[in-house]
């Protein structure tokens, strides 16, 4: 393996922090990844040398802040392979999806249909449910296979002439399965529907080529992609943005304001009401730059080798059952499992006592838990800075948990 993991680890200051007297094995990356020094430095430089409000100021700090903010937009755009004016900063991935549900959603008619899936994160269910209630729409969930994949074979049953939007997780935050985007786009195009991908779990694994996917909307969260909290991204095609009304109202998104009539600024400003999350955006720009500087062929190999090691270790634990694809094909390093008769919280708590941080619970995917008839899973998500020591500590902890509750 050509990855110098130690060199990567040195860039993430938190990894030196001991947990309960033991080294930290951080495998909760799917909930929030850690930040490299480059991101901390970018935010610190803004806060201590060029902090000011953006867009409206003529003084030197305001010029510098505006430049840093727009430069961050350009970095994110390059990371996604799209023009900068199609990139909007939002408060998070959830906020980005809500923006589409309110803005694009306001163009839909009663009886129109939106296709989701049984494995969506609540952030890609609840906004559509709320829209459906407001506007009389119908939600049609795609089924999930026993392997934990969105079953694209089910598309013909749920996509109809009334389908206006198909909104799906690019990568499942529970099973790690990667969506068959081409199949979804083909089905959408056949009926003139739009496609939105929730990229929260895909973005942390390297640059994207959104135009190549043939989709219409993409959302992701900064804090899961090595950036700060309080920042997310929405990308949408320019033609769509131009036809969409604003979501939130406030400063900077207007043309002219009187009490009788208000006109809107062009995108992307139309969708960035009020003072944007400037510092967080600058941090996310630095995170995207950091990701673009990595060799993802090597890092992807590294992540998937660790995934295999983890799956092998679980396979040797007879009471462990994987929730998700068993092989490495069409998946990313999000690995969920259950242990017979042991609750995921108990697993996670015992792992914590050994310095291993994982997530346990329903992962904001209650319909998927129902689908598998479980109350939750224990989940490990691997990032470039994870190493074999992290995986081995996790497997040891799982074995100890099984012994303790046997």
Ligand X SMILES: Cc1ncc(COP(=O)(O)O)c(C=O)c1O
Backbone angles phi, psi at 92, to 5 degrees: 170, 180
327 binds, among ligand X, its own copies, other proteins, none (CB under 5 to 8 A by kind): none
Using rule CB under 6 A, residue 291 touches ligand X: no
Contact track, ligand X, 357-396, x by CB under 6 A? -------x--------------------------------
CA distances in angstroms from 155 to 44, 65, 142, 152, 159, listed in the order given: 47, 46, 7, 5, 6
Q: Which of 93, 288, 364, 381 is catalytic?
A: 364
Calpha distance 170→177 (Å, rounded): 8
Catalytic site residue 364? Answer: yes
Calpha distance 158→24 (Å, rounded): 45
Measured from the CB of residue 288, what is the shortest distance to its own copies in angstroms?
17
Angle at 203 (CA atoms; ends 253, 201), nearest 5 degrees: 110
Using rule CB under 8 A, residue 258 touches other proteins: no
Residue pair 31/362 in contact (Cβ under 8 Å)? The answer is no
Residue pair 307/8 in contact (Cβ under 8 Å)? The answer is no
CA distances in angstroms from 192 to 2, 108, 186, listed in the order given: 45, 13, 10
What residues between 328 and 367 interact with other proteins by CB under 8 A?
Answer: 342-346, 349-350, 352-353, 360-362, 366
Residue 61, C-beta contacts closer than 8 angstroms, at least 6 positions apart: 50, 51, 52
Residue pair 80/87 in contact (Cβ under 8 Å)? The answer is yes
- Kindly report the number of other CB atoms within 10 A of residue 218's CB atom: 25
324 closest CA partner among 316, 367, 365, 332: 332
Q: Which is nearer to its own copies, 185 or 219 (CB)?
A: 219
279 binds, among ligand X, its own copies, other proteins, none (CB under 5 to 8 A by kind): its own copies
Q: For other proteins, how many residues bind (rule: CB under 8 A)?
A: 33
Q: Which is nearer to ligand X, 266 or 274 (CB)?
A: 274
What residues between 93 and 132 interact with ligand X by CB under 6 A?
Answer: 93-94, 121, 123-124
Using rule CB under 8 A, residue 51 touches other proteins: no
169 binds, among other proteins, ligand X, its own copies, none (CB under 5 to 8 A by kind): ligand X
Q: Which residues bind ligand X (CB under 6 A)?
A: 92-94, 121, 123-124, 169, 173, 198, 200-201, 221, 223, 232, 250-251, 274-275, 364
Q: Which residues bind other proteins (CB under 8 A)?
A: 20-21, 55-58, 62-63, 66-67, 252, 254-256, 265, 342-346, 349-350, 352-353, 360-362, 366, 369, 375-376, 404-405
């Amino acid at each position: 393996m050509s990855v110098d993991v130690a060199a990567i680890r040195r860039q993430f200051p938190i990894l030196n922090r001991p947990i309960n007297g033991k080294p930290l094995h951080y495998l909760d990356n799917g909930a929030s990844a850690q930040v490299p020094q480059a991101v901390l430095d970018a935010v610190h430089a803004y806060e201590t040398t060029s902090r000011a409000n953006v867009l409206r100021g003529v003084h030197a700090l305001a010029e510098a802040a505006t430049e840093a903010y727009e430069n961050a937009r350009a970095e994110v755009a390059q990371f996604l392979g799209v023009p900068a004016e199609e990139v909007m900063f939002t408060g998070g991935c959830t906020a980005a999806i809500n923006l589409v549900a309110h803005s694009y959603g306001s163009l839909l008619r009663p009886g129109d249909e939106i296709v989701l899936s049984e494995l969506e994160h609540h952030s890609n269910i609840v906004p559509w449910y709320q829209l459906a209630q407001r506007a009389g729409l119908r939600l049609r969930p795609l089924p999930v296979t026993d392997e934990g994949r969105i079953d694209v074979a089910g598309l013909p049953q749920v996509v109809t002439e009334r389908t206006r939007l198909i909104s799906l997780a690019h990568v499942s935050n529970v099973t790690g399965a990667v969506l068959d985007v081409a199949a979804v786009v083909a089905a959408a195009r056949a009926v003139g529907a739009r496609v939105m991908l929730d990229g929260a779990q895909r973005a942390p694994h390297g640059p994207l080529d959104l135009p190549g996917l043939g989709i219409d909307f993409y959302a992701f969260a900064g804090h899961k992609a090595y950036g700060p909290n309080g920042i997310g991204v929405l990308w949408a095609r320019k033609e769509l943005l131009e036809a969409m009304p604003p979501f939130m109202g406030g400063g900077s998104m207007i043309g002219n304001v009187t009490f009788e009539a208000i006109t809107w600024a062009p995108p992307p400003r139309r969708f960035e009401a009020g003072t944007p999350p400037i510092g967080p955006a600058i941090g996310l720009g630095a995170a995207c730059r950091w990701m673009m500087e990595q060799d993802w062929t090597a890092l992807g190999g590294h992540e998937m080798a660790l995934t295999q090691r983890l799956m092998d270790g679980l396979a040797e634990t007879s009471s462990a059952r994987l929730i998700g694809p068993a092989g490495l094909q069409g998946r990313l390093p999000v690995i969920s499992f259950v242990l017979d008769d042991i609750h995921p919280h108990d697993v996670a708590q015992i792992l914590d006592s050994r310095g291993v941080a994982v997530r346990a619970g329903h992962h904001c995917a209650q319909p998927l838990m129902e689908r598998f008839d479980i109350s939750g899973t224990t989940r490990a998500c691997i990032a470039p800075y994870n190493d074999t020591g992290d995986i081995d500590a996790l497997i040891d902890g799982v074995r100890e948990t099984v012994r303790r509750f046997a």
